[in-house]
Amino acid sequence: MKLFSGNANKRLALAVADYLDIPLGRCEVRRFADQEIFVEIQENVRGQDVFILQSTSYPANDNLMELLIMIDAARRSSAKRITAVLPYFGYARQDRRSQGRTPISAKLVANLITQAGADRVLTLDLHAGQIQGFFDIPTDNLYAVPVMARDLRANYDISNVMVVSPDVGGVVRARALASRLNAPLAIVDKRRDKPGESKVMNVIGDVSGRDCILIDDIIDSGGTLVNAAEALLANGATSVAAYLSHGVLSGGAVARIISSQLKELVITDSIEPTAAVDAAPNIRVITISDLFGEAINRTALEQSVSRLFD
Ligand code: R5P
C-alpha cells in the first residue's frame, strides 16, 4: 500500500500516514512558469495499491487538476489499483439542474476522476448521499457523525443537548447524530431566495433551555449557521454550537463566525484549516485522520468499511 498527497491537505495526509504507520509516498507536484501542473511520483508504484489523498477544496480547480494528473501519473506507472481519497469532494452542491441550461458539475467531476484512472473513491459526508451513484466505480462515503458524537460526549452535558438541523435537507444527518447521543431533534426551516443568502422562517421543536447543537455538512459563507443560531437563541435556547464536516469558510466567513452568537464552531480537517481558522477563538478543529486511516487500511485488506459505523 502507498499513500500520496497533493498540495490541498498535506497535514491530514501526514496524520493518516502516521495512523497507517507508513511514510507518505514521495511525489513532486509543481507548477510550470505558466502555472500548468507537473507531477512526478518519485518511487516505484508498479503493482501497488495506491491511495491519493486530495481534497478538491479552494482553489477547487487547481486542486482537482492536481488530483487528476496524479491519478494519471500513477496509472501510467502501472499501479495495480488507484483509490482517490477525497476528504472533501468539491462541486458537490451542483448535483442537479436547478434551472434550464445549467450543468450538473458534480457528475462531470465524478466522470473526470473516473476517466483519469481511479478505480475507487473514498470520501466523507457527500453533500447528498446519492452523489455516490455519480461514480461508476466503487465509492465509500464515510460519516463524521461518530467522530462528532465522541467529541460532544467529551465536551458537553448531553442530557441537556438538543440536536438541530439548520435546514430541512439536513434532517437525516441530524437524526443520525441525535440517535447516537439519544438526544431530541429540532429543525430550522431555512429558505434561500438566491444562492449565498439564507433566511430562517421557523424553528420546529421546543428549544427553550436547551444547549443546541447544529449539525451540517458544509459551512461556506456562514450565513446558514449564524441565522440559525440567532433564531434558536430568540426561541429561548441556552446556547448554540455547531458541528460541521467541511469548513469551506469562504469570503468573510471566519470573521462572521467570530462575531456571531455561536458558542463554538467545530469543523473537521477534511479541508486544511487556514491561519485565520487556527487563530479564531471560537473555531475548533477535530481530526478525521484515524477515520480515514482505518478506512484506507480496511480497503487495502478488502475488509468491510461500513463496519466502521456499526
Ligand atoms: C446546504 O444545503 C448546505 O448543507 C449548507 O447548509 C450550505 O452550503 C451552507 O452555506 P452557507 O454557509 O453559505 O450558508
| Gap from CA of 92 to ligand 1 centroid (Å) | 12
Mention every residue, 6+ apart, whose C-beta is less than 8 A from residue 270: 9, 12, 55, 57, 87, 88, 124, 125, 144, 245, 246, 247, 288
Check whether 175 has a pLDDT greater than 80.
yes
SS3 101: coil
Per residue in 81-121, pLDDT tens? 999 999 999 999 999 998 999 999 999 999 999 999 999 99
Check whether 192 has a pLDDT greater than 80.
no
Separation of alpha carbons 303 and 33, rounded Å: 44
Closest approach atom of ligand 1 to CA 223:
14
Average pLDDT over residues 183-204: 82
C-alpha cell at 243: 458541528
Pocket test for ligand 1, best of 98, 125, 199, 220 (most atoms within 8 A of CB): 220
Indicate the CATH number of 2-142+290-309 among 3.20.20.70, 3.30.1360.70, 3.40.50.2020, 1.20.1250.20. 3.40.50.2020
CATH 3.40.50.2020 residue window(s) in the chain: 2-142+290-309, 145-287
Nearest CA, atom 1, ligand 1: 218
pTM of the model: 0.95
**pLDDT computed for residue 191 by the predictor:** 78
Neighbours of 264 (CB within 10 A): 16
Class of CATH domain 145-287? alpha beta
Instruction: Indicate if the alpha-carbon torsion angle 79, 83, 85, 91 is positive or negative.
Output: positive
Closest approach atom of ligand 1 to CA 196:
13
Check whether 196 has a pLDDT greater than 70.
no
Cα-flanking dihedrals φ and ψ of residue 30, to 5°?
-135, 175
Chain centre to alpha carbon of residue 151: 17
Per residue in 138-151, pLDDT tens? 999 999 999 999 99
**pLDDT computed for residue 195 by the predictor:** 67
